């Protein structure tokens, strides 16, 4: 659900920097004058950066990882391009401790941190005095103790329990919590990094990576291809590398390396299939690092090194569409990037479409249709929820997240409505012309950014106009600027899931009549069971769940997707036999996709609320800020509604 954020913020004129009082950056020691209120950028509503006047081009980053203090400390050397001769460089920064800022060869300059924005994730503008001749800006700084992007884990929270662990999650606007930067997807830069870590820790970044630990804990990274800040990524821990193919490999803790190597064994094949579809992979090497379960997402498409949740390592390769998805981002998102988070569907809709095509190539159409239909059902539910809550504007592809945390746009709409839109284009114009169009689109805009409006124009010129009769059938505006699913929405057919639907119908009747359960599950894969658990009746009782559990043993499933669905019903129906496993799942796993529905289901009753509170207290230290921000919001909402 969209969090409603009171629009109280009144953008005031930015003071000219030379008149601006220098702020105490720690912000705690009684500032002598009123802090500056900075204005968000006109072309990116989630960033203060003045990149149209002065833009960052390259970063040389020197940093020390301090696991004891849980901080990063060092210098960001930014090479800039001053396009208009301005005397200010404006970067984004959230709670960073800025020690000093120097220009070129370390001549100190004045800087100002604006008052933190009302929407907490936006942080402050870091306004630096420069001259038209300035080429390099050096920011000496450290991160605060609980920088939102950084997840510090004690050794005990890892598999091996030998070394502590650190990983970052920058999307959408969290890069500014660990690097002062122009933190919008429309600004790209190349980088190098010199990172110092304790011995016995392997450090990797979204860059060319080492495959072995260094003797002295020092690592040098090069990233030649320009990337936006949300793709800045760092991971440090007791990791080892295994090669999977010529250009692909995995990083994992030694305890997990065998399992991960097997699970992602088809990576090289996926890479080759992807190239055959839409052109050369432009990032040389493609690796995946499997993180501890605290990772808040399924995967994060950090270039050259996807970050992945261990919840997809289940032993049967059933959840590896995640890898196809993150790999596809090497084209859609990383190569051609949404210009702002309001255009997020350009990243995700294209990626889901591409992911589906890779899955079809590797596993066949039957299998990929089953995946598509499972997602489609989730999408229908989400659309209904938005409509019920009076937020149908959230179901447009093009969003308007002004004065809102862009993380709020991370819903199924961008992914699955975006996918259906592209599939509609494919079905209307034919697969071959559509593939040629898409390949050319990636090629023409490689290492560039794209707004929704620019895409619509490009689409019109390069595909739609080839046939005006078909063009009218596409209902482009209905898809992009209107709620819900238009009349020409593609129909997904899965005989496999039709069969499950039939079995589910019988099961529901049998439960009603209180007859013993008999189902035919011959040849079912994990996805049939995911469909079954996802589509159990919403008013299922605890007694009925006990019968299903006695037959299928879902409470003890080893598949995280099945558990995610099952525990949601268990929480809502107050099915006690699942509680112990549900609690240990919630304490161990930090993937928001699973957490949110289960906590939501618990918050359906006063007893469930107390149970949720107790579990959250234990689990919260294992969750990344991305997850806790969502969950805190759920609890606040419940508490507000049930004040008395």
Catalytic annotation, residues? 326, 415
Half-sphere exposure of 584 (CA within 13 A, CB side): 6
CA dihedral 447→462→455→307, nearest 10 degrees, is: -40
Q: Answer for the pair 33, 71: CB distance below 8 angstroms, yes or no.
A: no
CB-nearer residue toward Zn ion: 351 or 375: 351
What is the per-residue binding string for Zn ion in 259-278, x denoting contact by CB under 5 A?
Answer: --------------------
What is the per-residue binding string for Zn ion in 275-294, x denoting contact by CB under 5 A?
Answer: --------------------
Tokens coding 68: 């004891």
Half-sphere exposure of 611 (CA within 13 A, CB side): 24
Half-sphere exposure of 508 (CA within 13 A, CB side): 14
Q: How far is CA 521 from CA 115, 500, 508, 532, 559, in A?
A: 60, 8, 15, 11, 17
Please report how close the Cβ of residue 568 comes to Zn ion at its closest, in angstroms: 22
Token pair 């630990």: residue? 213
Q: Cα–chain-centroid distance for residue 539?
A: 32
Half-sphere exposure of 8 (CA within 13 A, CB side): 6
Count, residues near Zn ion per rule CB under 5 A: 2
CB-nearer residue toward Zn ion: 50 or 351: 351
CA dihedral 417→421→423→425, nearest 10 degrees, is: 180
Tokens coding 16: 């000219």
CB-nearer residue toward Zn ion: 41 or 351: 351
Residue 99, C-beta contacts closer than 8 angstroms, at least 6 positions apart = 140, 141, 142
> How far apart are alpha carbons 332 and 357 in whole angstroms?
13
Please report how close the Cβ of residue 628 comes to Zn ion at its closest, in angstroms: 21
Please report how close the Cβ of residue 223 comes to Zn ion at its closest, in angstroms: 20
Please report how close the Cβ of residue 321 comes to Zn ion at its closest, in angstroms: 11
Q: Answer for the pair 439, 329: CB distance below 8 angstroms, yes or no.
A: no
Please report how close the Cβ of residue 530 comes to Zn ion at its closest, in angstroms: 19
Report the DSSP pairing between strands 111-113 and 336-338.
Answer: unpaired
Please report how close the Cβ of residue 332 comes to Zn ion at its closest, in angstroms: 9
> How far apart are alpha carbons 409 and 395 in whole angstroms?
10
CB-nearer residue toward Zn ion: 167 or 350: 350
Is residue 327 within a helix (H) or strand (E), and if so which, with residue range? helix 321-328
Tokens coding 235: 């991971």
CB-nearer residue toward Zn ion: 302 or 351: 351
CB-nearer residue toward Zn ion: 405 or 503: 405
CB-nearer residue toward Zn ion: 164 or 298: 298
Please report how close the Cβ of residue 338 comes to Zn ion at its closest, in angstroms: 11
Peptide bond into 172 cis (omega under 30): yes
Backbone angles phi, psi at 507, to 5 degrees: -60, -45
Token pair 């005006």: residue? 468
CB-nearer residue toward Zn ion: 348 or 382: 348
Please report how close the Cβ of residue 447 comes to Zn ion at its closest, in angstroms: 19
Please report how close the Cβ of residue 67 comes to Zn ion at its closest, in angstroms: 30
CB-nearer residue toward Zn ion: 348 or 503: 348
Q: Answer for the pair 306, 327: CB distance below 8 angstroms, yes or no.
A: yes
Report the DSSP pairing between strands 188-196 and 54-66.
Answer: parallel
Please report how close the Cβ of residue 351 comes to Zn ion at its closest, in angstroms: 5
What is the per-residue binding string for Zn ion in 89-108, x denoting contact by CB under 5 A?
Answer: --------------------
Report the DSSP pairing between strands 124-129 and 88-93.
Answer: antiparallel
Is residue 204 within a helix (H) or strand (E), and if so which, with residue range? strand 202-205
CB-nearer residue toward Zn ion: 302 or 560: 302
Beta bridge pairs of residue 65: 72
Using CB under 5 A, which residues numbered 326 to 365 contact Zn ion?
348, 351
State the DSSP code for 281. Answer: -
Please report how close the Cβ of residue 582 comes to Zn ion at its closest, in angstroms: 27
**DSSP reduced 3-state for 576:** helix
Beta bridge pairs of residue 106: none
Residue 573, C-beta contacts closer than 8 angstroms, at least 6 positions apart = 540, 541, 542, 544, 545
Using CB under 5 A, which residues numbered 199 to 228 contact Zn ion?
none
Q: Cα–chain-centroid distance for residue 377?
A: 21
Q: What is the DSSP string of 518-549?
A: ----TT--HHHHHHHHHTS-TT--HHHHHHHH
CB-nearer residue toward Zn ion: 47 or 347: 347
Q: Which residues are at the interface with Zn ion (CB under 5 A)?
A: 348, 351
């Amino acid at each position: 659900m969209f969090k409603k954020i009171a629009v109280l913020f009144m953008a005031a004129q930015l003071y000219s920097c030379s008149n601006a009082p220098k702020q105490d950056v720690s912000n705690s020691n009684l500032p002598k004058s009123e802090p500056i209120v900075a204005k968000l950028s006109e072309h990116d509503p989630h960033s203060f950066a003045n990149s149209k006047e002065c833009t960052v081009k390259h970063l040389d980053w020197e940093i020390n990882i301090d696991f004891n203090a849980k901080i990063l400390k060092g210098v960001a050397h930014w090479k800039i391009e001053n396009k208009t001769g301005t005397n200010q460089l404006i970067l984004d920064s959230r709670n960073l401790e800025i020690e000093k800022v120097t220009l070129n060869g370390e001549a100190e300059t004045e800087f100002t941190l604006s008052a933190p924005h009302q929407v907490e994730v936006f942080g402050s503008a870091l306004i630096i005095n420069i001259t038209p001749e300035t080429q390099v800006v050096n920011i000496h700084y450290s991160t605060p103790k609980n920088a939102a992007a950084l997840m510090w884990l004690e050794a005990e929270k890892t598999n091996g329990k030998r070394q502590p662990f650190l990983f970052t999650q920058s999307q959408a606007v969290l890069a500014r919590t660990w690097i002062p930067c122009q933190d919008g997807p429309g600004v790209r830069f190349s980088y190098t990094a010199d990172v110092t870590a304790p011995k016995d820790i392997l450090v990797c970044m979204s860059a060319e990576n080492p495959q072995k630990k260094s003797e002295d804990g020092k690592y040098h990274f090069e990233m030649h291809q320009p990337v936006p800040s949300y793709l800045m990524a760092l991971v440090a821990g007791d990791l080892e590398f295994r090669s999977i193919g010529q250009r692909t490999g995995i990083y994992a803790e030694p305890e997990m390396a065998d399992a991960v190597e097997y699970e992602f064994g088809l990576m090289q094949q996926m890479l080759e299939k992807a190239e055959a579809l839409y052109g050369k992979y432009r990032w040389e090497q493609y690796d995946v690092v499997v993180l501890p379960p605290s990772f808040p997402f399924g995967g994060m498409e950090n270039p050259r090194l996807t970050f992945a949740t261990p919840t997809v390592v289940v032993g049967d390769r059933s959840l590896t569409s995640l890898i196809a998805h993150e790999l596809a981002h090497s084209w859609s998102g990383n190569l051609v990037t949404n210009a702002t988070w309001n255009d997020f569907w350009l990243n995700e809709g294209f990626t889901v479409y591409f992911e589906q095509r890779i899955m079809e190539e590797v596993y066949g159409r039957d299998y990929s249709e089953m995946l598509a239909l499972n997602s489609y059902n989730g999408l229908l539910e989400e659309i209904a929820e938005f409509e019920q809550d009076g937020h149908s504007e959230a179901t447009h592809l093009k969003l308007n997240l002004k004065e809102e945390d862009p993380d709020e746009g991370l819903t199924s709409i961008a992914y699955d409505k975006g996918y259906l839109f592209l599939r509609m284009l494919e079905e209307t114009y034919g697969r071959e012309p559509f593939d040629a169009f898409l390949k050319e689109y990636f090629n023409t805009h490689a290492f560039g950014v794209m707004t929704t409006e620019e895409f619509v124009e490009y689409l019109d010129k390069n595909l739609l106009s080839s046939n005006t009769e078909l063009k009218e059938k596409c209902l482009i505006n209905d898809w992009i600027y209107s709620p819900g699913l238009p009349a020409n929405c593609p129909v997904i057919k899965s005989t496999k899931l039709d069969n499950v639907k039939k079995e589910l119908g019988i099961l529901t009747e049998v439960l009603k009549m209180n007859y013993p359960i008999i189902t035919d599950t011959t040849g079912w894969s994990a996805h049939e069971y995911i469909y079954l658990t996802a589509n159990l009746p919403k008013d299922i009782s605890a007694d009925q769940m006990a019968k299903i559990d006695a037959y299928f043993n879902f409470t003890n499933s080893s598949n995280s997707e099945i558990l995610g669905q099952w525990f949601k019903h268990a929480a809502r129906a107050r099915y006690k036999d699942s509680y112990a496993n549900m609690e240990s799942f919630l304490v161990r796993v930090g993937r928001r996709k699973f957490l949110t529905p289960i906590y939501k289901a618990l918050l359906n009753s006063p007893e469930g609320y107390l149970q949720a509170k107790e579990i959250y207290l234990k689990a919260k230290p294992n969750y990344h800020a991305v997850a806790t921000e969502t969950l805190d919001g759920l609890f606040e909402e419940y508490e507000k509604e049930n004040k008395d």
